[in-house]
Chain A
Amino acid sequence: MIEIAEKEISLDRMIQRARRNEAGAVVSFLGTVRDDGIEGMEVEAFRDAALSELEAIRLEAMSRFSLTAAEVAHRTGSLAVGESIVAIVCSAAHREEAFSGCRYILEELKSRAPLWKKEISAEGGRWVEGHGR
């Protein structure tokens, strides 16, 4: 399942959805707002385009790493330091596939999904320099 929403990410629910009897490994990744002297972050998405790109990435990971399930959630809107920005959960028969699938989805998301972050500090806002094209 792919989610892009303003509401808080529930990693527990994502893990429950990814569990399978045939999966011996469930790997999760959580990206959070780091305190780099900022007060918070704003996340913006080209929602429809991001949803279809993330679904394409999810399906690639499912087939490339023989995953039994993959879940991706990305927050939008205003986030405080420490809050979750992105969560990825992958299940597979064995740990190698689950770790690789999780990493693949994260790296592809960063380079392909139309999402942007703005750091908010006392001095104002600054868009994080993106590298994805």
Chain B
Amino acid sequence: MKIKVLAFAAFGEILGREREVELKGDASVRELLETLASIVPGFREAAFEPTGILRDYVLLMVNRKRIDPERDLSRILAEGDELAIFPPLAGG
């Protein structure tokens, strides 16, 4: 299935502002992030602690709704879903 990935600020510079990722079968948010980490240089170091847990400044949205990285990384994605990745907000 194809998932659209949007990335902003520092994560946009690493991943590109928009890309499509092809995943096999049922895949979770964590599997999508792992796939990105395996194909995009620098993303693993930026997004994950050396222990493998997601850094606390990684914020995520699925289909424009915020998800909780502590609870929702196992959420199964569907064809056409959109994941947005960004650091803490700094507007104004």
Instruction: Flag whether A113 is at the interface (Cβ < 8 A).
Output: yes
Of A9-17, A20-28, A61-69, A125-133, the segment with at least 4 beta carbons within 8 Å of chain B is A125-133
Interface residues of B in 50-92 (CB under 8 A from A): 59, 61, 64, 84, 86-92
Interface residues, chain A, with chain B CB atoms under 8 Å away: 31, 43-46, 48-50, 52, 74, 85-86, 106, 109-118, 127-133
B64 contacts A48, C-beta separation under 8 Å:
yes
Candidate in B12, B84, B87, B88 with the most chain A CB atoms within 10 angstroms: B88
| Contact among A46, A85, A128 for B6, CB-based, below 8 A | A46
Question: In the complex, A116 Cα to B13 Cα: how many Å?
Answer: 13
Known: A44-B8, A46-B8, A114-B8. A127 touches B90 (CB 8 A): yes
Return A9 CB to nearest CB of chain B, in Å.
13
B92 contacts A106, C-beta separation under 8 Å:
yes
A interface secondary structure, majority: mixed
Provide 14 A-B residue pairs closer than 8 Å at the C-beta atoms, listed in order of the A residue.
A31-B92, A46-B84, A85-B92, A106-B92, A110-B89, A113-B89, A115-B89, A115-B91, A116-B9, A116-B87, A117-B90, A127-B10, A131-B89, A133-B59
